[in-house]
Amino acid sequence: MKISGWVFLVLGGIVIAASYLIKGLKLFVFVGMLFVIYGIGKLISGFIVKDDEKNDGKTARSDNYEELAAKELQESRCKRCRCIVMSYDHFCSGCGIRLR
């Protein structure tokens, strides 16, 4: 995906050059400029994404912690009727037995 930025730059250059060579394609100059701007944007974002990947790794880990916490909540069941109860519940929602 690193090449895509350069591809857009080259494409933009070609489009601008073509629009200069062919008469009546002045609009394509703007299209070409958009391609070039998009290409530069992609190249810049490519450098930023590298840092984001590191951050994503951290957030992915924190998501795992949340999942584990959710699993613990889900797996806490009533001893009597086996219905799912939350760790903060004082009474079972299924049979009404006192949990704590």
Interacting residue with Zn ion among 7, 22, 34, 95 (CB under 5 A): 95
What number of chain residues touch Zn ion (CB under 5 A)? 7
Judged by CB, which is closer to Zn ion: 26, or 79? 79
C-alpha distance from residue 36 to each of 1, 2, 70, 77, 88 (Å): 16, 15, 47, 59, 56
Residue 7 touches Zn ion, criterion: CB under 5 A: no
Query: Residue 59: is it exposed, middle or buried by C-beta count within 10 angstroms (0-12/13-18/19+)?
Result: exposed
Interacting residue with Zn ion among 9, 15, 16, 78 (CB under 5 A): 78
> SS3 of 36, please?
helix
Q: Compute the least distance from the CB of residue 90 to Zn ion, in Å.
A: 12
Binding site for Zn ion (CB under 5 A): 78, 80-81, 92, 94-95, 97
